[in-house]
Every structure is written in C-alpha cells, then in structure tokens.
Structure 1
C-alpha cells in the first residue's frame, strides 16, 4: 500500500460516499487498493492503480489538494464521473468543490477537468498545458489521466468516450490520498489506458440460491469500480427466466430489475437480460416467438438494452413440439438449424427494430470444446453473424484457455466469441469456496475475444476476491500477474488494514485450489513440507496454524458484513482446523521431547478437534446441509501424517492411506476410503477411464490378507467400477493381479495367496465408463495382526480387538468390572523380539489396576503394574515373546485400553 507524505490519519474509502450525495447512483466501492489513498507507491514509485494501466509514468511536478477545488466540466461531461470525482476530492481533504465551465483565473486553487473531447472541450487545452496527448486513437472506454503543472497544478480526466472518463475517475480514486484536511501534495502522473477486450464482466449463471437484490446492487457498484462493463442476469433458479419464461414478472420483481438497470447504468455497466426458453420452446412457433419478444419488450421498457438467449443445459434430441421435428428432422444439426431460425427472427424482428439495442448474445447447447459437429456447423452457417456466441472453453470448467483455442472456437462456431468462463462458480461443488485468483488464461487471449464474462459463486461477496482478478486480467492481460492481483484483492477486501489482510491471506490460502489451479493451501502446505523435512521450525508451522485459528475473529471484525455471512461456515471450519493444527504440532514436539504423557493427552484431543473442523455445514437452496471443505487434499492428509509419525514413535505400523488421481467431487477426498467409517466415502467428479481407479498405500511392505472394496452409495448406486481388477505392488510400478477381473459388482473381495506381501493395493478400471466412482471403504487386512482374547467382555460398540488394532483412537471398553482372575491377552502369530511394552489408556479412564505380563517360551513373566494413561515397561534384554496380557486386580474398575504396543 502507498502513503502520502502528509496525512492526519487513514480514512476508509467508504468516507468517499459519506462526502458525496450520490442519490441517483450511490456508489459503494469496497475499500480497495484505493483505500490507502496516496500520491506514490511504497518506494516512491507510481501509485497502485488496478486494473494495471497499459501506460503509466510519473512526472517531476506535483499537484496540491487545495481547500477549494474547481471541477471544470463541459455540457456533456459524464454525470457519474463528475459525481465520483467530486467525492474523491472531498475524501482527499478538499472542503469546497464546485463545478464550472472554466477554471477561475489566478485563484491558486486546484482545477480538475472532467471529460474527453466529445464531453468537455476545455480538457484539450488542459492536456496541452501538461504536454500530454489526449485520448485520440484509444480503443472505446480508453482514457487519459494526467496530473501536474505549476502552482497547485491541474488534473485532467479525458476519456475516449464517457465510460472512459468514468474509468479515469476510478483511477483517480486510487491515486489521491484520504485525508480530513486539505494540503496533501501528490506527485504528477500521466496514465494512458484502454481495455484489452471490449466486454468484461460477470454472468450470474449458476444453479442454486440466486443472489439477493441487495447483493446485486452491491455487485454492480463493484463492477464499475473495477472497470467491468457487463452484468448478465441469468440465475438458473429464477423461474421467470426458464421454467416460466413466457409468464410476465410480478410487479415487485420487475421493479427490482428496473432498479438494477438504473444502478448498472450509473456504474457504466450494461445490464444484460438472458432468457432461457429451451426447456419448453417450440422453435418454429410464432406464438413462442411473440412470447419471447413480448418478454424482451417488457424489459426494454424499463431500460434494458442488451439481451441474450441461453440454450444451454437442455436436450436437443427431444423436441418440445411435433412441428419442429416435421420442419427440421432429428439430430444435432437439426437442433442447430432450429435454434438459428428462432434467434435470427428475434434478431431481425426485435434487436434490429429497437434503436440502441446492443448485439444479441446466445449460449449454444454445445457450449464447450472446439470439436466440429453437425450442431456447431448449423450454428456457424445459419445464425446471423452479428450474434455473439458464448463458449466455456475446452471444458465446462476449463483449467486452461489459450489463444489457439479461441481462434479455433471462432472458426468452429463461425462467430465472434464471448467466453462464459466458469470461475469462480461453485454450484458443482457447493461445499467449497473458490477464493484463488483467475489463472490458466494465456496472455493475448483477451484480444482474440469479443469479451470475457465470469460465472461467480453462489456467494456474491466472497466472489469479489476472484472477480477482482478477473477484472485485472480482462483489462490488461499482458501485465496480469495472478499473485500480485490477488494480493491487491485481499488488501482491498481488508480495507487497508494490515492485520485483517494477514487474516484473510491465512483464510484464502486454505480455499485456494480450483479446477484452474490444483494447488491448495500453497503457503501452509509449504510450511508443512518444510516441517516434515526439518527445514522449518515447529514454531513457524505453529504460528501459521495459530494465524488460521485466529483469522475468523479478525475477519469478522474487519470486512464487510456480506463476506462474513457468505463465508460463515468456512470461517468456522478454518478456525477449527487451525486449533487442531496447533495441537498436532505441539503433540509431535512433546513426543519428540520424550514427554509421553503430554503427547498422549494431546493425541486424544486430535480426533475431536478434526471432527469439529469437518462438522460445519452450508445450507443450500433446497435445505440440504452440505459439509464445507477447507484445505482440500492438504489438511486431512497432514493429520494423517501426524498420526503416522506418532505411531512410528510409539512402535505402531502406519495406517493405510487412500490414493487416487481422479478429481474429487465436493470434498469427498480419498482419505475417506480408509477411515473405517462406511458412511463417509471418496467420490470422483467425473467417470473413470480405463486404467484409472483408486488405491491404498499401506505405508510399508507388509503381509496381505483379505482385500475388500465397497463402492456405490444410496442415491448413487451405479457409481462403482463396472469392470476392473484388484492389484498389488511393492514399489508402485510393477503390479500383480489379485484374483480375476471383476464385473458388475459394487463390492469386490479377494484373498491374497499365503505369503503375499506388498505396500500398495489398487482397484483399477479395465474399461471406460459413464458413471462416477464412490468408494465407501477400501480395506486391506494384515495377516500379522495379533488376536485379543480374555475379558471382561467388550461393551456394545466396542471390541476386544480394539485393544491391539494399531489404532489408539479405537479403544476396548469393558462392559463390566473384571471378575477375579480376568485377564486381557494379546497374542501374536509368532514370537517376536520385545524390548518394551506400552499400554495406552484414555486420561479419563486410567484408574483400573492390572499387572503387565509377557509370555516367553510358554511362561508368563511379570513386567510391572499399569500406571496412569501411559505405561511403558522395559523387557529384559534379548526377550522374545508371543503374547502380552493384562491381569486385572480384584476390585478394579471396568477397564478401558486404547492400545497395547510391543517394541
């Protein structure tokens, strides 16, 4: 952030609004890079303007914010730009801001010229005085911002058109300081800027809870502040856009849309109305054409000047009326012809007959990839050439988009392309927030397109972080740096507060990954890896988890209310993960220091802390409680590694870890295949292809027993590997079949031949399939596990085996106090070398008394008594034993044993 040389204190950018009486268009910009206000960058360089200008240079002169400032306007100066400029000047400390046709002579006060050549002829002379070129030759919406001169100096905001002048005012907002008193001096500046692509903005086109009216108004202000110029109204769950497209809007809803249109115009944003008739339209019907154009006329009458007809997410193999089938036949080509016929009639009979209407937009049914098909050929050949075609890239959610792909899309569709970019939309993964930057789009792409519209999340305020970066890319893709843009977005959301920004960075870090960028929690994951390999001190990782733990409270007190409401359950989950992380690192450090009791106490807390972190829910449009996911693929595996590290120190074998290269659906990650809970599951977000599947890493070479894979679930009974094989491997490279190929079964089971050992086991598809994959449990039995016998009998929900199953979190709990002579025996398949015996018991259930004994050559040898939660007893040197037993004392309480471990 940048600071002026003299400033009494920082004033939030919202103060700009308090100063301005913007009744017709109340502008609410979040506090942005602009919120710092400044005359220079942190090192005396140019102030931060976002989106980054194409050309920007500092001058050697300065301007001064005088007590009185004259805003020089022309007869056609953009009213919104004038209002914004006035507000910005007052927020910078000016006390008396007046408008006039020319600057008063000899006043010694600052003069600010608003308007390009077509708006305010006086700006040309002011630019000449500053020896700065005007906006001639700039693309539409380009602008020149110049400031400097003698004395108090002058500022010129000169757009290639009124929108360009408005954008110059938005840049000025980020350059001037925020002060309560006049007198600030600001270094001279010359900016010459223009958009990389003509159409830049947002399409509210997701499934799920539509945005509220208040959120939409706020979004339109945000778009104007970030130089985005289009908002497409297309929420999938507005019935009057789809299922009830023929019906007129209720008066109240139409009034809200009219208010949106007015707010959009005030922010130089084009409100685009997108009607989706495809579920029931008869393309050849004159009545349906009239219903569609009548609906458009209703919207025209309240100020809408751009229209779209999305025909996505419908079937084109089933006609809605017999007349269409009779006219065009069947198949994709027929559907393309029918759609072109209807859209051409709309274009000719409505768009062309309404002076001022902007080009019609459409979303094809085949809206992604660049494969030539009969449908696309029909659209290319028969749809009017001035209709803009929307396209999502080479996938519905395209990880990358290149110049070559865009050129190919123009060829295949035969039209100018407006991308419907499905980021940061989360309707396909409602348990996630996608808070990372816009990425994967090649430099030069924007220039190949008619425009770029981003489909945002169901959460409007949380979407702003990513939309900030979309705005930066679409304005100036050649200078776009995702990380730098994202840092600016975080700082803007934090309102210039460094503490809030740090909290936001901790929170957004664990909500970073997406289909565009698979890196989740890049900062935290780096520290985790460093801690694991010894290059990062425990204190640094603990501090990172503590920052995550504390971030929700700081964020809740420091950002706009909408962001907090949008992010509530994710904030709660992140904070809980932070608490768990602090405990996990502390547990490992206590264990490494030899503090067994303290380490065991902390380990007992971890399952509850992790369960709490995973307990938070988002309530969707239908009232479903969706588990929220934070730190996908990073946090849960970290705790698995913590567990395995602890187990290794205790002398326990590693626990199995689920693995897959398939993408994950809605947070149902691979580790859920091996958690011992049949109600949780891994779920892929696409169908497996031949050679793909899921596996288990056993953590080390070990003897194999029975292998079982339980797939599918209620509501998704077909989500299993329909054809495949179980395989095992010692090195992860050379694989051996475990039994014959399976087919048509949701549960596979195979027994490994006696003596088989492996580290890896997998279930691999041997054919492509159309259904996704759910795996509830992937279980690999070991043949070297001990057996547990004796008593007292286990209580309901527990088992004797839990006392030595390698999972300390699963405890054997007796149903009653022991009878005289009762003992709990752990017997191994063969004698083993034993140097010590450790017995773990819960802190709150360690009062029962017993003697610990080893069986050596058939004789029981006493090692000592149980003592507290952690009992560690050495065995005589050279001991080889085949069993351990706990002989309960008469009168002892009902015993509880977490784990019996021999080393």
Structure 2
C-alpha cells in the first residue's frame, strides 16, 4: 500500500503542476483562491440561485403558481423576443395555454398574469407595480430591469419591467432560473428583483489563431451568451481569409448567408453581432482605392443585419509600409502609423458609419494594444482618430494577470478614447497543449467606471470555454458582488448537469487544468489535499490517506465518469485527450491506489519535489 500510494502521490504532484478547477485563494474580485463571506445578491435559502448574480433580489409574499393557463399582458411596444422566449419557457414548464391580452379586464378568473414590459409599453403595469410596492425600471441603467411577483387585482402576477427592450428580455432569463417545478406544475417564488449591468458591453471576441469555430458551434455559443446576459459577440476569427489576407474580396454567397443566420440568431437573444475586418496586412493607407475597397466591403454585411463594425490593426508591423506612397504621405515610425490608421478609420466613420443611421459606434484595435505607456503611436491615435471610435486594449500585457481601475483610467487617458477591454482569457492558442479551466480573476470591482466594456477571447474549444466565460459574464454583470469561487462552482455545476458523479469528476478535472497566466495557482484543491496528507503523515495520523485515496480515485475515473454522465457530450469530445491523460496521471497502467490501512510506516517516504510546468508561447 505504501509504495503504490507514493507512486500515486508522485503522479498527483505532477498533475498539480499542470493545472485545475475549484479555486480556493484570492484577494479580490480578481482572485479565485480568496473566499470570504458569500456576497449579497445571491439567492437565499428560500430562492433558487440566479447567475449572473442580481444586484438586488429578496423574498416577498407568496409564490405565483403558473398552472395550465397563463396570460401575457402586452402592449404594442412589448419586446417581441421577450414574448417569444416567455411562450417557449412556459411550454417547457407545463403551461398548456398561453393567452396574450392587452389589459387585465381580458383575464379569466384567477388566471396568472405576466406583464411583459413596464408602464411605458403596458399601461396596466403601472397599477401592477404599485400594488406590488415595486418601483419601475425608469431610473435603472440601460438594460436594467425589475421583476416583481404577487397578487394584483385578484390575479397571481409577475411583472417584467425593463428599462428598454433588452432590459425586458433579461428578466425572462432570470424568471427561467427562478421557476421551480413540482411534479406537473410549476411556480415562481415570491420575489422582488432590481437588477442592472455593471458593464454596458459584455461579451466575447472570437479572435484566436487556429481553426475557426464552425457556424453550428458559433450558434450554440450565442445561445450561451444570451442565457448569461452577455450582449456582444465580435466575429474576428484570425484564420478566416476574408477578414484578413483577402479582406478586399467579398464573402462567398454561402458564407454571407451563414453570417446572416448568425446575426439573426444573435438578434433574437439581444446579442449584438460585431463584424471585424482586419486590413492591416496589406492595406495602403494613402490609397483612395483601398479606402473605397474597405468601405465597399461593409454594405453586404449591413444588408444581412450587421449594425456593429470593428477595424482591428492588431498583430501587424507598422515599421514597414505596404506601399511607398504611405511613407511619402505619413513619414516613418509609430507616430506615422498611428496617423495613417486614424486617417483610414476616419474615412470609414465618415463614409459609412455616419451615413447609416442605427450603426453602433465604430471599434478599432490599435497595433500598440497592451500597455499604458505614452508613445508617438498612441499620441497620434489620441490626437487624430475620431472621438466617436472605441479603442480596444488588452490591459498591461498581452495576457494581463490583473487589470485595475487605475490602469483602465490610464489607458483611457493615453489613447484619448473610450476603452473596450479585449481580455485574452481563457484563450489558449498560445498553449494549445491544454485547456484553461480556471475562473475569471484579477480585476478590480469597479472597472465599469472606466471601461466601455469587456470582451473575453475564448479558447479554440468552445464548450470548454464556457467554464471561464460563465464567470466572465457573472463579473461583467455585477462586478461589485463578484465572487470567483462561488461563480466557479456554479459554472461547473451547470456544465456538468444533474449527475453528482459528473459534477465531482468535472471539478476534479478542472482543478487539474486550473493554472493560467492570470492565476498561477496549480491544482489548488489537489495541492491542498496533498499538503494535508503530508502534514498528517508526518505527525503520525492517517485519516488523510483515506481522504486522499478517494480524491485520487475520482481523478483516475474522470474519463469514464464524464463519458457516461456528463451533461454535454461536446465538452467530452473537445477535452478527450486531456480527460484520458488525467486518468493516467494518478494510476499508471496496472496500478491502482488503495489505502486500506491508516497505519503510518516507520520510514516516511520523501516528499515529492514540486514540479513546475514549463510555459509555452
């Protein structure tokens, strides 16, 4: 037993050097290992958990039974996507008949009513909110909402009052999480929610190198973003030739049709689809024909519904011009490059964005995107680029381990523009040999005061990215109440599904893949159990051996458990090589640890040396 256990411990120590999930230490909204008391805003014992965590949620009154028939009280301005989502949700919860009315006088006796919109779109909602002693959403920020339940004029009622259309859609998502099934019936607990986002822009940028996601994978990701109140997706796969190397050429008809499908999918769940075109590899900034080609690429995207555009100039050299005319017009050096890029972007702003009502602010990613040091390039962006353009920034570093409010303020000052954070986590195109499955950490709780928003760059593996993106969404929605450890547990629980064995196996696997540039803690859970084992071993007690044995058995069985019980088979498919490796880390072929005796040997084996993982770029 002792020899096989030490063999397993050595393998486990190796595993601990490779990374994992469940975080246990941290010092702020940016550190997963810190615990502390659970912040307010999460469900109490009487309420289901809601993620992203609401800013304010409290119990009140009696539950509202949905029953077999429910009426939606709507107005001409009720958000159509919210109405459609509600009908789908109610059908899933056993409601067989959904009426749609414009006033409470049209309700059947004791029929449950759901008001889809506030007083400005559903006049009857004013009296309902008053009866429920719930203020409306008028004073809340954009996309904020009020969700209130109770008795209104003799009818069990739910009011979904949004500050705007998206604000009306979001309480539908919250309601979905609050509904509790009891056999064939369902009910909404008595509750009052007042909620709003910390960040106005919250989402992802498909900006990694390597094989782009398929359109089916993108569509599935968009649904995930919508469920988690993320409102932005930037379409910028680095290896799509029509976005970079062949930027002048129109998209093939089939690809354009696929983009339209994605735009429609995103729009229905209130996610803005941003199209990013990167001409920097070959553009001649001084060329009128290249400027026309850049602008001419955009109308076909507008025609399929795109309303948000980005022109990135990242990952190019600005010391070498693509044509001699550029040096003649702009000169040389970083300042000249900043002036040239500003010139082209201003032309796009003038000739396309300003001429298309409804277009969202133009975005750009500068060539110098990863620090706050004053340079001639940044000075040119600040001085020459239209103030309407949003500037992308990755933090202080390409992969910034921490991002503070002071750094964000410094970025805003040095670039002279609103800043959209391009956060390179959990992207793994620089470490393709492993997934990054830790939570989102290292960010000040009030970044929203200085940033236009946050977009996270996901991994090559879309479903595996959701472990971290769940926590990104939680942070971006309510950064002041963000707890990485709590959010991380909820993320793993959601991804694993209802099986307890799958949840345990996924947590163990994620722990093995925890290590990253933003959080260098290696397998924190396993490391803690190893530390406890050695402490008890050396003190002459043996209870830790049984505990560790159970942990190692879970790790050894990770591949089989997740293949059999995992809620999402796509995750298993994406992670298969690492799942298989996890089982081998603990038990080499023909070996299995069994700690059947708590006795301590007379000679304690040497403690395994710490194994540090070599970083690859």
Q: Do both share a fold (TM > 0.5)?
A: yes
Paired position in structure 2 for 1:489 = 491
In the TM superposition, residue 186 of structure 1 has moved relative to its aligned partner by 3.7
Distance 1:114 1:327, change over 3 A: same
Q: Does 1:335 align with 2:337?
A: yes
Distance 2:400 2:614 in 1: 16
Between the two structures, name the one with larger relative contact order (CA 8 Å, sep ≥ 6). 2
Paired position in structure 1 for 2:584 = 576
In the TM superposition, residue 119 of structure 1 has moved relative to its aligned partner by 3.2
Q: Conserved in 2, the CA contact under 8 Å of 1:64 and 1:152?
A: no
Distance 1:505 1:267 in 2: 30
Instruction: Kindly report which structure 2 residues correspond to 1:770-849, keeping only aligned pairs within 5 A, or say none.
Output: none
In the TM superposition, residue 537 of structure 1 has moved relative to its aligned partner by 1.8
Q: Does 1:210 align with 2:212?
A: yes
Q: Does 1:98 align with 2:99?
A: yes
Q: Conserved in 2, the CA contact under 8 Å of 1:54 and 1:194?
A: yes
Distance 1:409 1:581 in 2: 53
Deviates more, 1:533-542 or 1:457-466: 533-542
> Between Structure 1 and Structure 2, which shows a larger proportion of helix residues?
2
In the TM superposition, residue 115 of structure 1 has moved relative to its aligned partner by 1.6
In the TM superposition, residue 584 of structure 1 has moved relative to its aligned partner by 7.4
Deviations along 1:822-844, whole A, 9 cap, x unmatched? xxxxxxxxxxxxxxxxxxxxxxx
Distance 1:266 1:117, change over 3 A: same
Q: Does 1:279 align with 2:229?
A: no
Q: 2:160 aligns with which of 147, 157, 177?
A: 157
* Structure 1 unaligned residues grouped into runs of 5+: 1-39, 595-643, 649-653, 667-684, 686-903
Paired position in structure 2 for 1:565 = 573
Helix, strand or coil at the partner of 1:69: strand
Distance 1:64 1:370, change over 3 A: same
In the TM superposition, residue 343 of structure 1 has moved relative to its aligned partner by 0.4
Distance 1:473 1:481 in 2: 8
Q: Conserved in 1, the CA contact under 8 Å of 2:65 and 2:112?
A: yes
In the TM superposition, residue 385 of structure 1 has moved relative to its aligned partner by 0.6
Distance 1:471 1:404 in 2: 22
Q: Does 1:545 align with 2:546?
A: no
Helix, strand or coil at the partner of 2:180: coil
Paired position in structure 1 for 2:615 = 665
Paired position in structure 2 for 1:51 = 52
Paired position in structure 1 for 2:20 = none
In the TM superposition, residue 496 of structure 1 has moved relative to its aligned partner by 3.2
Q: Conserved in 2, the CA contact under 8 Å of 1:52 and 1:476?
A: yes
Distance 2:590 2:221 in 1: 37
Deviations along 1:119-165, whole A, 9 cap, x unmatched? 32332222122121110111111111111126651001110001000
Helix, strand or coil at the partner of 1:538: helix
Distance 1:504 1:152 in 2: 44
Would you say how many aligned residue pairs link Structure 1 and Structure 2? 569
Distance 1:118 1:550 in 2: 56
Distance 1:538 1:299 in 2: 61
Instruction: Kindly report which structure 2 residues correspond to 1:27-46, keeping only aligned pairs within 5 A, or say none.
Output: 44-46=45-47
Helix, strand or coil at the partner of 1:470: helix
Q: Does 1:143 align with 2:145?
A: yes
In the TM superposition, residue 559 of structure 1 has moved relative to its aligned partner by 2.0
In the TM superposition, residue 179 of structure 1 has moved relative to its aligned partner by 5.2
Q: Does 1:177 align with 2:184?
A: no
Distance 2:120 2:555 in 1: 53
Distance 1:190 1:542 in 2: 46
Q: Conserved in 2, the CA contact under 8 Å of 1:308 and 1:362?
A: yes
In the TM superposition, residue 209 of structure 1 has moved relative to its aligned partner by 1.2
Deviations along 1:145-199, whole A, 9 cap, x unmatched? 11112665100111000100000100000000235623x4443111111111110
Distance 2:366 2:290 in 1: 19
Q: Which has the larger radius of gyration?
A: 1
Paired position in structure 1 for 2:295 = 293
In the TM superposition, residue 498 of structure 1 has moved relative to its aligned partner by 2.5
Helix, strand or coil at the partner of 1:500: helix
Paired position in structure 2 for 1:461 = 463
Distance 1:283 1:591, change over 3 A: farther
Paired position in structure 2 for 1:349 = 351
Q: Conserved in 2, the CA contact under 8 Å of 1:113 and 1:123?
A: yes
Paired position in structure 2 for 1:415 = 417
Distance 1:186 1:387 in 2: 44
Following TM superposition, where does structure 1 have runs of at least 4 consecutive aligned residues deviating by more than 6 angstroms? 40-43, 587-592, 657-660
In the TM superposition, residue 98 of structure 1 has moved relative to its aligned partner by 1.9
Q: Conserved in 2, the CA contact under 8 Å of 1:92 and 1:180?
A: no
Distance 1:108 1:587, change over 3 A: closer
Distance 2:388 2:76 in 1: 34
In the TM superposition, residue 67 of structure 1 has moved relative to its aligned partner by 1.7
Helix, strand or coil at the partner of 1:370: coil
In the TM superposition, residue 491 of structure 1 has moved relative to its aligned partner by 1.1
In the TM superposition, residue 590 of structure 1 has moved relative to its aligned partner by 11
Q: 2:259 aligns with which of 257, 260, 263?
A: 257
Instruction: Kindly report which structure 2 residues correspond to 1:362-401, keeping only aligned pairs within 5 A, or say none.
Output: 362-401=364-403
Distance 2:298 2:391 in 1: 19
In the TM superposition, residue 92 of structure 1 has moved relative to its aligned partner by 2.6
In the TM superposition, residue 56 of structure 1 has moved relative to its aligned partner by 1.3
Distance 1:127 1:581 in 2: 65
Distance 1:391 1:61, change over 3 A: same
Paired position in structure 1 for 2:131 = 129
- TM-score, normalised to structure 2, is 0.88
Deviations along 1:689-736, whole A, 9 cap, x unmatched? xxxxxxxxxxxxxxxxxxxxxxxxxxxxxxxxxxxxxxxxxxxxxxxx
Helix, strand or coil at the partner of 1:149: strand
Helix, strand or coil at the partner of 1:153: strand
Q: Conserved in 2, the CA contact under 8 Å of 1:531 and 1:537?
A: yes
Deviations along 1:517-541, whole A, 9 cap, x unmatched? 1112111111111112226521111
Root-mean-square deviation (Å): 2.4
In the TM superposition, residue 507 of structure 1 has moved relative to its aligned partner by 1.1
In the TM superposition, residue 62 of structure 1 has moved relative to its aligned partner by 2.4
Deviations along 1:89-126, whole A, 9 cap, x unmatched? 23333222221212334511211111234432332222
Helix, strand or coil at the partner of 2:392: strand
Distance 1:374 1:665 in 2: 33
Deviations along 1:178-226, whole A, 9 cap, x unmatched? 35623x4443111111111110000000001111110000011111110
In the TM superposition, residue 511 of structure 1 has moved relative to its aligned partner by 0.9
Q: Does 1:240 align with 2:248?
A: no
Instruction: Kindly report which structure 2 residues correspond to 1:297-312, keeping only aligned pairs within 5 A, or say none.
Output: 297-312=299-314
In the TM superposition, residue 243 of structure 1 has moved relative to its aligned partner by 0.5
Q: Conserved in 1, the CA contact under 8 Å of 2:546 and 2:598?
A: no
Distance 1:70 1:584 in 2: 59
Q: Conserved in 1, the CA contact under 8 Å of 2:43 and 2:50?
A: no
Distance 2:595 2:175 in 1: 53
Q: Conserved in 2, the CA contact under 8 Å of 1:93 and 1:179?
A: no
In the TM superposition, residue 593 of structure 1 has moved relative to its aligned partner by 5.5
Instruction: Kindly report which structure 2 residues correspond to 1:6-17, keeping only aligned pairs within 5 A, or say none.
Output: none
Instruction: Kindly report which structure 2 residues correspond to 1:511-522, keeping only aligned pairs within 5 A, or say none.
Output: 511-522=513-524
In the TM superposition, residue 659 of structure 1 has moved relative to its aligned partner by 7.6
